[in-house]
Structure 1
Amino acid sequence: MIKDKLDQLGLGAAQIIGLGTAFLFITGVSYYYGYYVVGLKADWLINLLTTKELLISNIRLGAGFILALMFLQEIFFSDSKPKGKQHRTFLIGCGVLIAILILLIWRDNREWLQVLSYLIGLLALFGLMYFKYLGRLISILLIFFVVPFLNGYSAYQKKMASHLPVVSLKDDAKKWYIFDTFSDQVILIDNMKKIENIKVVQVNKLENIKVE
């Protein structure tokens, strides 16, 4: 089914690679919007990221969408399964994700945003394959913007709940936490509970790295 859709669109290898690159770039920006802008509240950090970092941030998400498409193709386009059973299998899959989502919210587990993104992504792919016009547009917006945004904000929450390495700088006696790294630079925050200062420094400026 996926191959047939690509053949209908007349897409060659170059066009598919171009679309894949555009997908990774746009979802990368959406991911870091949730991670840096809404989470860390430091929108200026996105300007420091290179195109490569934006592209590689959501490779796993892209792979997940491909696997989900294969799952939907197996469910809805398999000749060996009756149509009623196909829909039942899809509904069971969504039901399992909803049950996990409710359980995680009830237990106040930060993983619930990640599970919500999986559920929205699955439903969006279904809408992309079966809806028309407005339904497809909404599905595309969910895939390109909402799902990676939720992944980014979820990653921020998990990062802040972990034990971040503590460092000091060669020209600064203050205690800093390593929030993230990119290229040869490090993002430092001054507090795990209420962030007041954020600093970006070169790796060679760090010393006395430890985990509390």
Structure 2
Amino acid sequence: MLIEKLKDLKIVDLITVVVPGIIVIGFSYKFGFYYSKAIDANWVLSLFTPIDFITAQFNLYMYYFTAVVYLDRVIGGSEKLKEGLITGNATMLGSFIGLYFLQGKIAFIFYVYALVSLHAIALILYSKSIGLRSLGFLAIFVILPMIAGGQEATKVSQGILPVVKLSKTIDVVGPWYLLDKFSDKAILIKPTQTMNYFKVVELKEIEYIQSAKLDKNINKF
């Protein structure tokens, strides 16, 4: 079984195969995030290390892991792949319809990620076509992470970001918001109607961080 084979992977295999794949996923996520219209700061990518890319997006890893477990444990391989995918799609669609009435946008995002993850990994594991397998790899390592990054960037325009209080005064009036972090530094953003201001500070320069949910003026950039 696939899960048992994954357990047998050695440290060398993880370093040479798994780790580079995770780095590519993290880079694609950051690329989609910083190249988005809401942020438009591709220069930030040069600040990150491979470790920052590895820890960039744990949510996607859960979708991928769930898809692998479903394909391996529930479907059991390629023999019942067609029937298993039909059942999986029906289950996800039912979940989407049920969740839509509670959290419409969240349900749609969940459905897209789960749908793409399941079918892309199925192509990678069981397709005999090089073209289809390549499409599966492209979806898992590039397309889906970039979509996730772009979706996360909408928090900037929506104002769903933590407010940062710096210990020193700065030349741009108004609150700064925590956008990202790397190493022992934080990336702050101050959105305005004309442009975005950015500031890279050490974590020790931050006096406190206020939850976005507590800031009543968060949407008034």
Q: TM-score, normalised by structure 2?
A: 0.74
Structure 1 stretches (4+) deviating beyond 6 angstroms? 3-6
- Residue type of the partner of 2:31? Y
Distance 2:2 2:180 in 1: 37
Give the structure 2 partner of residue 136 of structure 1: 133
Give the structure 2 partner of residue 204 of structure 1: 204
Name the CA shift for 1:27/1:210 in 2 (closer, same or farther; >3 Å): closer
- Correspondence list, 1:3-152, <5 A: 13-38=11-36, 39-77=38-76, 83=80, 87-98=82-93, 104=100, 109=105, 112-131=108-127, 132-152=129-149
Name the CA shift for 1:123/1:194 in 2 (closer, same or farther; >3 Å): farther
1:142 deviation in Å? 0.7
Give the structure 1 partner of residue 219 of structure 2: none
- Residue type of the partner of 2:73? E
Aligned-residue identity in percent: 24
**Count of matched residue pairs:** 203
The question of whether the paired residues in 1 share the 8 Å contact of 2:178 and 2:189 is answered with: yes
Name the CA shift for 1:116/1:193 in 2 (closer, same or farther; >3 Å): farther
Distance 1:99 1:195 in 2: 42
Q: TM-score, normalised by structure 1?
A: 0.77
Give the structure 2 partner of residue 183 of structure 1: 183
Distance 2:193 2:108 in 1: 21
Q: CA RMSD in A?
A: 3.4
The question of whether the paired residues in 1 share the 8 Å contact of 2:161 and 2:178 is answered with: no
1:177 deviation in Å? 1.8
Name the CA shift for 1:164/1:63 in 2 (closer, same or farther; >3 Å): closer
Distance 2:208 2:130 in 1: 57
The question of whether the paired residues in 2 share the 8 Å contact of 1:114 and 1:154 is answered with: no
1:104 deviation in Å? 4.9
The question of whether the paired residues in 2 share the 8 Å contact of 1:179 and 1:189 is answered with: yes
Name the CA shift for 1:135/1:208 in 2 (closer, same or farther; >3 Å): closer
Distance 1:12 1:76 in 2: 26
1:123 deviation in Å? 0.7
Distance 2:32 2:139 in 1: 14
The question of whether the paired residues in 1 share the 8 Å contact of 2:187 and 2:198 is answered with: yes
Distance 2:59 2:85 in 1: 22
The question of whether the paired residues in 1 share the 8 Å contact of 2:32 and 2:150 is answered with: yes
